[in-house]
Structure 1
Amino acid sequence: MLDIAEELDRWVGRGRDFAVATVVAVGGSAPRGPGAALAVDADGTAIGSVSGGCVEGAVYELCAQALRDGKTVLERFGHSDEDAFATGLTCGGVIDVLVTPVRAGDPARPVLASALAAAARGEAAAVARIVDGPAEVAGRALVVRPDGSYEGGFDVHPELDRAVAAQARALLDAGRTATVEIGERGSRCGAPLTLLVESSVPPPRMIVFGAIDFASALVGVGKFLGFHVTVCDARAVFATRARFPEADEIVVEWPHTYLERTSVDARTVLCVLTHDAKFDVPLLERALRLPVAYVGAMGSRRTHLDREARLRDAGVSDLELARLRSPIGLDLGARTPQETALSIAAEIVAHRRGGSGVPLTGAHTPIHHDTGPAPAGRVGSVA
């Protein structure tokens, strides 16, 4: 739901009723992961997607029905190959979809509206909703902030709200969307509960060091992939808005100095395109010791060997050097800045998702590396 927060926030602001279908769990070769959403308003307008087109028609009808009867429904698509093809899920995977009405007067609407507003503003927030449980908790929701404060709840027992808030905060800290199981005793309502916790966090950072033509192409690809992109170069004549109109930030500063003072995290990717030892070495000496997702550096194999020797002389260990992706990018035979940017982006995605980088044709590797089997359990109305 939070992946289409901007449009849903506008719908809330205009007083529209709508129903939102959210992917809860996936198994096999499913097109989209947990948290992907499709919403339908009372006029029949649809936004978002839960399957890249495979089962959209059937999910649209479920949303329309939820708007009419006000019931929350959990539906599974792809029990078998025959069912998968019948509904259009031709990839053979399994997806569980939670359909929730969000209408005027519904108890969860103010809570969901708060989560949507936060996500639309780019703020960190997590929202927990019931996937499976007793009728008395259906449709309830709870929103958690990074400091642990929360609003909403399940109107069962304060201890349940606190337990869910703690679980949701942990997922928010990790930037993850996942289902959470609460046992019968912990739920305080005489039955176990399954909840979907969706996390909305600011976009991951891509910091591109070196204001060259290859950097300009990489900025465009980084924005396309959803990164907040910063360009950093010590040379003011090159680090300009005219040269990098798509960048979120342009910083004129020595790269290693900027890296020392800026915030990075486990999702940050660092692309070193400076191609100059006086910039590269002090920058990479620091970068390889940070808990970031990816560090890549441009240069020929000869440049890489020289850079590696200089880094060892600076005290960088073999274990730290093993984190360096250099020469940067996958072997696509790239020549132009645009092709090179594509090869760098491909390596970042493969590293992030556990891909091998080999062609899928003729390979026996999974297409989706970060999906597991859909959880067993009751599927149907939870209202």
Structure 2
Amino acid sequence: MLNIAETLHRWCGEARPFALATVVDVRGSAPLPVGTSVAVDEDGNAVGSISGGCVEGAVYELCRQVLHDRGAAQRAWFGYSDEDAFAVGLTCGGELDVVVQRVDPASQWHLGAALAEVAGGRPAALAQVVDGPDGLLGATLSVLGDGRPVGGTLDDGPVARAVADRARALLRAGRTARVTLGGEADACPQRLSVLVHVAATRPRMLIFGAIDFAAALSQAGRILGYHVTVCDARPVFATTARFPHADEVVVDWPHRYLERAEVDDRTAVCVLTHDAKFDIPLLRLALGLPVGYVGAMGSRRTHGERLRLLREAGVTAAQMSRLRSPIGLDLGARTPEETAVSITAEIIAHANRTSGLPLSQRSGPIHETTVHGPGDGQAIEEEYGAAPLPLPAGHGVAAP
């Protein structure tokens, strides 16, 4: 439901009842992931999409029915029928399970509280029961960024406490996931499946080197939802006027800035300086940090010399294996804008642990519904979180 959080927040603020249809399971190829929602208010206004158009009409009518009947949540399945050309289904051949429920903001104030946090760019988690005992389908519980539950339609008790504990864990990890819990007499005797929608803080993209490629990359990173920082030690180049799409522009030596920066396993570090006095101390530090991606710009000759200097600086072979250099996928990129696409394409492929090959050269589903957790190689059930130009060196910047 976080794909339409801003609209839902406004509707909650207006005490406007609505029906919420959420994808809770995907099998085969489907255009949108688990957790995606459509909402319809009492005036028939709709927001969001769950199938890219294939079944939107049927879902809209189901929302209208649930909203009008004021009944319990309903579950619907959408697939594809080869026998019935007029059947409602996904032309992509996938299957969707959808839960449709009525939301009344006047009595479900906790949902509005969590959506207010999300709309304000703050972390929050919304847990939604998508399978389990009669009467629990569609039940919700909200947890704020500090781990504090703010209520829900789950009765206070062992089930609510178990759901809140799992929501807090996923909120800390910054990951949306569907989880199964219960069957334990003391903790949660009722076995149920819960979809935890997590809105984490924006992941960070740290771009080092205030050049034209950085300007294009900062714009591409902003479009992808990153909090973008451009850092360079040369104040004449590191200005907000040159990087209007960056969230912040920092004048400092790159490694010194990185030493104090907050990073996590979603952080992308893009080194565009290809100047050894900047690169080596920066990469030596970055390759030892728990960041998600480290890429460095430069020719293959520059890369070879960079590896030699990193070895001399004590960087291990295992650490150097994390370095993506030359940075980006092979798209034949030449302009800054093309290079930005090349780099962000590699970041996306790396984050999703995919090959980066053309889809026409692959078989199997286009969209995977199970991915691996960061760094642990374990599956998480149904989770759903160039040729460079030379850079002028120095310009009177003294070493720190």
RMSD: 2.4
Which structure has greater helix proportion?
1
Q: Which moved more, 1:131-140 or 1:92-101?
A: 131-140
Q: Where in structure 2 are the equivalents of 1:1-383 lying within 5 Å?
A: 1-70=1-70, 71-78=72-79, 86-105=87-106, 107=107, 109-185=108-184, 191-364=190-363, 366-371=365-370
Task: Name the % identity.
Answer: 59
- Cα offset, 1:146, TM superposition: 3.9
Cα distance between partner residues in 2 of 1:239 and 1:25? 46
CA distance in structure 1 between the partners assigned to 2:145 and 2:2 by the alignment: 16
Q: Distance in 2 between matches of 1:227 and 1:247?
A: 10
Secondary structure of the 2:196 match is strand
* SS of the residue 2:362 aligns to: coil
Q: State the 1:64 CA deviation.
A: 1.2
Give yes or no for contact 2:126–2:198 (8 Å, CA) kept in 1: yes
Q: Distance in 1 between matches of 2:80 and 2:218?
A: 42
Q: CA deviation at 1:87?
A: 2.2
Gaps of 5+ in 2: 372-380, 382-400
| CA distance in 1: counterparts of 2:230 and 2:18, whole angstroms | 40
Report the TM-score, using the length of structure 1 for normalisation: 0.91
Q: Which has the higher contact order (CA 8 A, sep 6+)?
A: 1
Amino acid at match of 2:289: L
Distance 1:235-1:365 versus aligned 2 partners, 3 A rule:
farther
Conserved in 2, the CA contact under 8 Å of 1:78 and 1:84? no
Query: How many residues end up aligned between the 2 structures?
Result: 373
Q: Deviations over 1:52-95 (max 9, x none)?
A: 22221111112111211123112121176557983241111112
CA deviation after TM superposition for structure 1 residue 179, in Å: 2.1
Distance in 2, Cα, partners of 1:189 & 1:325: 45
| Cα 1:188/1:362, change in 2 over 3 Å | closer
Pair 274,212 (structure 1): closer, same or farther in 2 beyond 3 Å: same
Contact 2:232 2:252 in 1 (8 A): yes
For residues 99-130 of structure 1, give each alpha carbon's deviation from its aligned partner in whole angstroms, at most 9, with x where no partner exists.
1211254x4x2111111111111111111122
Retained in 2: the 8 A contact 1:160–1:187?
no
After superposition, what is the alpha-carbon deviation per residue over 1:336-381, rounded to whole angstroms, capped at 9, x for unaligned?
A: 1111111111111111112212222243254224448xx9xxxxxx
Counterpart contact for 1:208–1:229, Cα < 8 Å: yes
Consecutive unaligned residues of structure 1, counting only runs of 5 or more, are 376-383
**Cα shift at 1:243:** 1.0
Distance in 1 between the 2:210 and 2:105 partners?
Answer: 51
The 1:363–1:160 alpha-carbon spacing in structure 2 relative to 1, beyond 3 Å, is: closer
Amino acid in structure 2 at the alignment position of 1:115:
A
Name the CA shift for 1:111/1:135 in 2 (closer, same or farther; >3 Å). farther
Are residues 319 and 181 of structure 1, via their aligned partners in 2, closer, same or farther at CA, if it must alter by over 3 Å? same
- Distance change in 2, residues 1:322/1:190 (3 Å): closer
Which residue identity is paired with 1:301? Answer: R
**Aligned in 2, Cα 1:249/1:192: closer, same or farther, shift over 3 Å?**
same
